[in-house]
């Protein structure tokens, strides 16, 4: 699952406050492009570019019915980014734990030698 | 803590395979720039640009001793990105659960009316 999404495109899509706000809105359910664009003081072409970057990252899918384009969150891409982060945080923490255990061991040995 | 890092810069730093590989290497402990650069077939100036983007994102800190620059992972930025993702995944999942409960309730009511 994690490999299905390009992490380059997912993280790139997340690197913008407007796009993160759109994701925030969509966690509460689908919305039309015009509903989504409303809170932002940017032109529609610029807004549509943001939607496209989110689609390219696999974070959002859109469907068109008549003149209305509806956006949906596709949470798999969020999860693949999260999986990557969690794995690296865990590796880092494991190393810290080992380092701590090693230092504790050294200081015990130090005490024994006193 | 989460607000201390610019999520724009953190996610931007993560949106590149070389930079993610550098982070992967640094989860195992500090390394010098030349050690880090070794597996990549790119020029040092380009490699140093990647290090700078990681520093700007708060993901890596560097210290210089003599001619050797050592890179360290600073895990706070990874955690702030992870916090953002987890929050949005949780909101999304909560909404799905509510939707499911609502549908189950409707189908129960439907049965009662039969």
Phi and psi, residue B80, nearest 5° = -65, -40
Q: What is the DSSP track for B2-57?
A: GGGS-HHHHHHHHSSHHHHHHHHHHTT--EEHHHHHTT--S-HHHHHHHHHHHHHT
Residue A42 has pLDDT above 60, yes or no: yes
Query: How much is the average pLDDT of B78-106?
Result: 93
Residue A112 has pLDDT above 90, yes or no: no
**Which three-class secondary structure state does DSSP give residue B43?**
coil
Share of chain A above pLDDT 90, in %: 78
The pTM score is: 0.89
For chain B, the residue count is 114
pLDDT tens-digit series, residues A57-108: 999 999 999 999 999 999 899 999 999 999 999 999 999 889 889 898 898 8
Residue B1 has pLDDT above 60, yes or no: no
The alpha-carbon gap from B9 to the nearest alpha carbon of chain A, in Å, equals: 7
Beta strands in B1-114 (DSSP E): 31-32, 60-65, 68-73
Q: What is the ipTM of this complex?
A: 0.88
Would you say B96 and B83 are in contact if contact means Cβ atoms under 8 Å apart?
A: no
* CA A66 from centre of chain: 31
Q: CB under 8 Å to B75, separation ≥6 — which residues?
A: A89, A92, A93
Q: CB under 8 Å to B29, separation ≥6 — which residues?
A: A95
Residue B41 has pLDDT above 60, yes or no: yes
Of B14, B24, B86, the CB nearest to A11: B14
**Whole-number pLDDT of residue B2:** 41
Query: How much is the average pLDDT of B71-98?
Result: 94
Confidence of residue A4 (pLDDT cuts 50, 70, 90): low
Cα–Cα dist B7/B26, whole Å: 20
pLDDT top residue among A97 and A13: A13
CB contact under 8 A, B89 and A78: yes
Interface test with A, best of B1, B6, B11, B93 (most A CBs within 10 A): B11
């Amino acid at each position: 699952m994690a490999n299905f999404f390009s992490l380059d495109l997912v993280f790139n899509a997340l690197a913008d406050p407007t796009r993160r706000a759109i994701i925030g809105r969509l966690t509460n359910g689908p919305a039309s492009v015009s509903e989504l664009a409303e809170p932002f003081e940017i032109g529609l072409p610029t807004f549509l570019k943001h939607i496209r970057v989110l689609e390219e990252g696999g974070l959002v899918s859109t469907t068109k019915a008549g003149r209305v384009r509806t956006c949906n969150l596709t949470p798999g891409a969020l999860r693949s980014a999260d999986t990557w982060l969690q794995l690296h945080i865990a590796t880092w923490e494991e190393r810290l734990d080992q380092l701590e255990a090693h230092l504790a061991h050294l200081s015990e040995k130090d005490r024994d030698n006193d």
